[in-house]
Amino acid sequence: MKYTSFLLLVILVLSFGAINAQRRPARRPARRPAANNAATVPVSQPTPSPASSNSNKPSAPYITIARSGGNGGGINDTAKISLRNDNIITRNYVKDRTPLAYKNIREDDAVYKQRIWREIDAREKENLPFRYSLIEDNGSQRFISILLSAIRSGVTAFDADFDDDRFTTPLTTEQALGKLAAGKPDTSAVNDLDGNIIRYEIRSKEVMLDSVYKYRIKEEVVFDKETSVLYTRILGIAPEMPKYTSEGTFISLQTLFWLYYPDLRTTLAKYEVYNPKNFGARMSWEDLFESRMFSSYITKSTLDNPFDQSLKLKYGKNTLFALLEGDAIREKIFNYEQSLWSY
């Protein structure tokens, strides 16, 4: 009887242990780290993104997009060369034209000399050729485009910051053209049909050239006693661009750069001025400046100006008085020349 009870107790204990063993989950064997297994990601490292998981692919190239053709008027506009003669007559003399050399004026013969600063407003009717926007083989015919073409061909531009007009700080071609840029360029990605980036396109924020409509002229008036002639020689030309706030409020005119006019004459001799009456009889830009066939007003002079003040600074907001004072300066120089003669 005792052995029977003990045997039943052993059977119950073994049965209870077997039931618990079936309920307990089986222990998985330890997994060895496989070599070059991309599916195994350590817990401490982030999951790589699809764009950076394949580092063997070459990076997308960066391409600078330049404008071409049209009358958009950007600083990077390029003109396509005509594959046929775009004229009934063959016009070769324009390319070979060179300006005449100036007469040398001895320092002892210069008995009278004044320095004058002028401003040309291309919105005036007489100055509308400055904004002529025809596209020819040599590019846009806007005067600002001609100046930019001269800079690209090797004419040195000088910095105009802090109202410096003495040609002291030369600029590189990129720095001079950058004066017309409107901030940093935009970079945009171009995707294919699968959504992969194939290239990046860089487009510069440019200022339309039609917004440059004022030019500063620095010149000297010299009376040569040897020839008894009052000479007017231009020293420099500087384009001006209006500055605005982010809300579009006008601030002031900004001088972009100065170009030394004697260096610029060769380029100006190869560009013709628009003639609204006769397209076949046109003068060069060098002839226009030497013949004084433009409208301008005096903004500053060395005549009776011991403090080196511009007329705008002298008269403030009274622009009418500044304009009348400029006419008075021109009249004084004219009267000096006339007073040297006896009638």
Q: Model confidence over 131-165: pLDDT tens digits? A: 998 888 888 899 999 999 999 999 999 999 999 99
pLDDT band for position 91 (50/70/90)? confident
Average pLDDT over residues 295-317: 95
Structure tokens at 203: 């487009």
This prediction has a pTM of: 0.74
Structure tokens at 114: 């004044």
pLDDT of residue 70: 44
**Residues ≥6 apart with Cβ < 8 Å to 298:** 116, 117, 118, 311, 325, 326, 327, 329, 330
Say if residues 70 and 77 touch (Cβ distance below 8 Å).
yes
pLDDT of residue 113: 96
Average pLDDT over residues 258-276: 95
- CA-to-CA distance for 163 and 242, rounded, in angstroms? 15
Asked whether residue 284 carries a pLDDT value surpassing 60, the answer given is yes
Helix extents (H) in the chain: 2-23, 50-53, 93-96, 143-152, 173-178, 261-268, 285-290, 311-315, 319-339
Range of 101-110, 202-211, 241-250, 333-342 with top mean pLDDT: 101-110
pLDDT of residue 42: 44
Report pLDDT digits (tens) over 195-247: 899 888 887 666 788 889 999 999 999 999 999 999 999 999 999 998 877 77
Query: Of the given ranges (88-92, 100-104, 305-309), which has the lowest mean pLDDT?
Result: 88-92
- CA-to-CA distance for 39 and 31, rounded, in angstroms? 13
Residue spans per domain, the chain: 73-78+96-183+209-295
pLDDT band for position 59 (50/70/90)? confident
How big is the chain, counted in residues?
A: 343
**Residues ≥6 apart with Cβ < 8 Å to 287:** 269, 273, 293
